[in-house]
Structure 1
Amino acid sequence: MDDLIENSYGPIEAGDGVALTRAGRREQQTQRILEAAKACFIRSGFKGASMHDICAEAGMSPGALYRYFPSKEAIVEAICEADRREDAVLFAKVLQEPDVIEGLVMGAMAHIRHMHENDNAALFAEICAEAMRNDAVETTCMKNMVEVQAMFANYIGGARERGEIDPPVELDVLLPTLMSIAHGMALNDLPAMGVPYEKLEVLLRAMVVGMLRPTERPENA
């Protein structure tokens, strides 16, 4: 029965094409479900949106949807994982920037643009709220946060060791504070409130400079 459902979207090629075609169709269906879930979460909230609502939004039967995701928590995990992959690509570019001030500003602005231009602010505000009362969602969110913090800890820590910055507090205080500010700015979707990107960038740079306190030159230069 599962094969009939899987194959109902069109003919499956023989040989090596079978796995690729099925994988492609499965990915297409997965994205269809995730987009439907995002719409439902934004419209009704995590608790208000049922799996039945997501099925209706996606135009799928419950039996078909449950073959992909067993619960709303599993859907949130997939949404966060997709966002984590996008962040990894973005931050890989950020971490190549030799000037840590410019790198952090670039990363924060890219995150704000991504949230605004993809209408993700409302969705992730709902997910963050759910994380406060749902252990499974909190675990997913914390996993992503820890991975991002680890990347930037090395980036900022390296700049401090080279004498390029002189922050007034320890790294384990500085880093979550910086991330919380950038995260809050993105979740509030300031561009949607009419705040221009260029003004946000000015404020972000001033904030980062004030908190990292760049030196004129390395101490041992």
Structure 2
Amino acid sequence: MAARCQPVKTDIRSFWYRRGMPRVSAQHLADRRLQIVAAAVRCFARAGVHGTTMQDVFAEAGLSPGGVYRYFKSKDDLIVAIAEGVSRQLDALLGEPEPDVQPDVRTGGIGDEVRRIVAAFDSVETDEDHRRVAVAIWNESLHNPGVAGVVADIVERVTCSLASRLAHMQDDGRWRDDVDAHAAAQVIVALLPGYALQRIWFPNLDPQSFISAATTLLSPTESQAPRRRPPG
């Protein structure tokens, strides 16, 4: 009687790798992730966060559901990824605050600091889509603890960086010393949501006029002008 045929066990994955099937590179994975995030930004800007479904993102990215879910399991993951991307960009533009180290500060006073913060925001939120999504994410942070944590971290780091610079200006006698540096930094950072909304509502808003007005309001009057502290 003929011997019963025995099944042959074949590792298909090993077979194809031996045949030279290309592995997915880290750069490809990073590019695909950016492609999906960019598609989500366009969807959120067009329909809002709550008006966008994952199916909308699939279609906008031109990918299958599996092609998106490999990177992002939910819409919340996409929102957090967008917020974290903004955080990394702002860190690069503004720098991390260094504990116990006074950073160098350009001469020119408070106007330079307001200009620096607004310019950093404009460098990150480069068009109306990104500004709309920034506002949508701020709104989402009111209801989503995961998003709230990322947004709060961004605001705190920007505020601390600015507060450190303002305190250094006070020590050098280049800015008024009758106001708490951290509280002043909170006020300046609080201008950004209003600035973003007005850039959306009024496309012709002039950033330089905004900066000039904010600088004038934050600058001391003649009687409040800072006095350079004597050495020692």
Residue in structure 1 matched with residue 112 of structure 2 by the alignment: 103
CA gap of 1:192–1:155, structure 2 versus 1, over 3 A, is same
Residue in structure 2 matched with residue 164 of structure 1 by the alignment: 174
Residue in structure 2 matched with residue 114 of structure 1 by the alignment: 123
Partner of 2:50: helix, strand, or coil? helix
Task: Give the stretch that moved more between structures: 58-67 or 116-125.
Answer: 116-125
What are the ranges of 5 or more consecutive residues in structure 1 without an aligned counterpart? 13-17
Is 1:23–2:32 an aligned residue pair?
no
1:1-221 equivalence runs, <5 A: 12=22, 22-92=25-95, 96-99=104-107, 100-111=109-120, 113-114=122-123, 117-119=126-128, 120-189=130-199, 192-210=202-220, 215=226, 217-220=227-230
Structure 1 residue ranges, 4+ long, deviating more than 4 angstroms after superposition: none
- Give the TM-score of the pair, scaled to structure 1: 0.79
What are the ranges of 5 or more consecutive residues in structure 2 without an aligned counterpart? 1-12, 97-102
Is the CA contact (8 Å cut-off) linking 2:90 and 2:124 kept in structure 1?
no
Tell me the amino acid that sits aligned with residue 132 of structure 1. L
Tell me the amino acid that sits aligned with residue 110 of structure 1. A
Deviations 1:27-66 (A, max 9, x none): 1101110011001111121112111211111111111111
Q: Displacement, 1:178?
A: 1.3
Cα separation, 2, equivalents of 1:88 and 1:116? 14
Cα separation, 2, equivalents of 1:167 and 1:77? 38
Cα separation, 2, equivalents of 1:79 and 1:183? 17
Q: Displacement, 1:161?
A: 2.7
Aligned-pair identity in percent equals 22
Deviations 1:68-127 (A, max 9, x none): 01122221222122212221222149x654234243132133135336633221111111
CA gap of 1:113–1:140, structure 2 versus 1, over 3 A, is closer
Q: Which is greater in Rg?
A: 2
Is the CA contact (8 Å cut-off) linking 2:163 and 2:184 kept in structure 1?
no
| Count of residues in Structure 1 that have an aligned counterpart in Structure 2 | 203
Cα separation, 1, equivalents of 2:134 and 2:92? 19
- Give the TM-score of the pair, scaled to structure 2: 0.76
Higher helix share: 1
Cα RMSD between the aligned structures?
A: 2.8
CA gap of 1:191–1:133, structure 2 versus 1, over 3 A, is closer
